């Protein structure tokens, strides 16, 4: 990271004091969100496209939801395009960026590229089956050997890696930005989770995937490839929020007194990260009461003190048996 860029960094974001012009500065910008047809992605695209002159690409593997969302937003006068993608498949991801650029050229008749990316695509995991098998049955091959689930690892880690790489190579017009020492308008925001700072019972694949996304985030910040890039990287790590992803768990979580976080705070943090050019390398924890800067850096003990504050104030529970096997 060059000195100019380092010196400009905001060392902690005060989410309680919104930057007045952060959202207005999104006017005329272009956003691509993966996993955009539902939950956080849908909320972020919908909020973004309220700003005049914006364009957004809804990237998701769910065609029915994606096309319905495209119709609704187009009818409301927004400029959006749905593109089907499976983020775990490299050729599907490169097709996504090709389709996005073709649409932007055809619609705007100019060399418009993507300014902001948010990687929301994600799924929960299955229980890890570690039931011991009789050695004789195993040796006689009587038991079918099923590999453990790794869907979440593939979607969150490989999917984020593919999306970010393709975005920076092909989608964001970075070949034109010569002065990399100047803070850019371009940003990538990655979705991790509170599970990426702690652990989540019966969600091994999911928990590993969210630590993995955070590992990717930390690696991208630490220099190397990114020294030559003007893109700002930030991370959002929500606690439980009611979305289609968690809808089966929500009644159970509420019965247990788990304090759900608000989707509006996820949306606001994403817009702030995109619109505030001085924010680079920050991680937002989203829990009941709003967003907090998790201080996921050396000075902040990589989030440990902020997590302790969350537990002490009662908004976070220690990872424990909060979801019973029967309910997954
Ligand atoms: N809801 C929560 O409580 C919560 C908390 C922390 C983190 N998160 C994370 O936030 C992100 C969004 O979650 P959400 O609650 O909005 O979920 P959601 O289920 O509402 O939306 C996820 C979207 O990702 C899409 N998707 C899944 N696999 C895909 C693939 N291979 N390619 C392309 N798209 C794919 C789905 O079709 C869906 O539209 C996820 O990464 C999730 O892990 C959610």
Q: What is the mean pLDDT of each run of 10 residues along the chain (328 residues)?
A: 54 81 90 98 98 97 98 98 98 98 94 95 88 86 81 97 97 77 79 92 90 94 70 95 93 88 97 92 95 93 92 80 47
What CA–CA distance (Å, rounded) separates 216 from 213?
A: 5
- What class does CATH assign to 3-327? alpha beta
Of 244, 21, 11, give the one whose Cα is nearest residue 124.
244
pLDDT of residue 179: 58
Considering only CA atoms, which of 170, 172, 160 is closest in space to residue 120? Answer: 160
Beta strands in 63-138 (DSSP E): 79-84, 116-119
Question: Which residues, in sequence order, are bridge partners of residue 261?
Answer: 241
Unique residue bearing structure tokens 């599907």: 92
Burial class (CB in 10 A: 0-12, 13-18, 19+), 195: buried
Q: CB under 6 Å to ligand 1: residues?
A: 34-35, 37-41, 60-62, 85-88, 120-123, 155-156, 159, 191, 193, 238, 240-241, 243-246
Q: What are 232's strand-pairing partners?
A: 187
Which residue has a Cα nearest atom 1 of ligand 1?
A: 241
Contact assessment for residue 51 and residue 123, using Cβ atoms and an 8 Å cutoff? no
39 C-alpha to ligand 1 centroid (Å)? 7
| Continuous segment of H or E residues that includes residue 306 | helix 304-312
- pLDDT of res. 23: 85
Cα 61 from Cα 37, distance rounded (Å):
8
131-135 contact pairs (CB < 8 A, 24+): none
- Check: pTM over 0.85? Answer yes or no: yes
Q: What separation in Å is there between the alpha carbon of 178 and the centre of ligand 1?
A: 35
Rg (CA), the chain: 20
Ligand 1 atom nearest 121 alpha carbon = 24
Alpha-carbon gap, residue 246 to 258, rounded angstroms:
13
Give the three-class secondary structure for 255. helix
The domain segmentation of the chain, as residue ranges, is: 3-327
* Other CB atoms within 10 A of residue 184 CB: 18
Which of 44, 85, 122 should be mutated for ligand 1, with most atoms under 8 A from CB?
Answer: 122
3-state secondary structure of 35: coil
Give the Cα separation of 266 and 42 in Å (integer).
Answer: 11
Q: Select from 244, 245, 238 the least CA-distant residue to 259.
A: 238
Yes or no: say if 316 and 194 are a contact pair by the CB < 8 Å rule: yes
Residue closest to 197 by CA, chosen among 218, 182, 178 = 218
């Amino acid at each position: 990271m060059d000195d100019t860029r380092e010196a400009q960094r905001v060392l902690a974001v005060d989410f309680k004091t919104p930057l007045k012009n952060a959202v207005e500065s999104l006017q005329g910008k272009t956003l691509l969100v993966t996993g955009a047809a539902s939950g956080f992605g849908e909320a972020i695209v919908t909020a973004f496209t309220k700003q005049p002159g914006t364009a957004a690409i809804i990237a998701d593997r769910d065609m029915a939801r994606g096309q319905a969302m495209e119709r609704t937003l187009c009818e409301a006068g927004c400029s959006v395009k749905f593109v089907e993608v499976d983020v775990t498949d490299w050729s599907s991801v490169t097709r996504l960026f090709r389709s996005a650029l073709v649409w932007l050229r055809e619609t705007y008749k100019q060399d418009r590229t993507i300014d902001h990316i948010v990687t929301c695509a994600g799924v929960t995991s299955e229980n890890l089956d570690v039931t011991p098998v009789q050695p004789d049955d195993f040796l006689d091959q009587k038991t079918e050997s099923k590999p453990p689930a790794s869907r979440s690892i593939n979607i969150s880690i490989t999917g984020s890696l593919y999306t970010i790489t393709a975005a920076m190579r092909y989608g964001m017009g970075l070949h034109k930005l010569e002065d990399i020492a100047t803070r850019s308008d371009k940003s990538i925001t990655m979705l991790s989770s509170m599970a990426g700072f702690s652990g989540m019972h019966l969600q091994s694949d999911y928990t590993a995937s969210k630590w993995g996304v955070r590992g990717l985030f930390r690696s991208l910040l630490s220099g190397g490839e990114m020294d030559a890039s003007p893109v700002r990287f930030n991370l959002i790590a929500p606690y439980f929020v009611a979305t289609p992803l968690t809808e089966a768990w929500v009644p159970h979580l509420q019965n247990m007194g788990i304090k759900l976080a608000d989707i509006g705070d996820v949306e606001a943090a994403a817009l702030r990260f995109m619109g505030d050019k001085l924010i680079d390398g920050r991680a937002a924890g989203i829990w009941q009461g709003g967003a907090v800067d998790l201080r996921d850096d050396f000075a902040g003990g990589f989030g440990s003190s902020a997590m302790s504050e969350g537990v002490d104030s009662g908004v976070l529970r220690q990872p424990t048996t909060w979801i019973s096997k029967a309910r997954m």
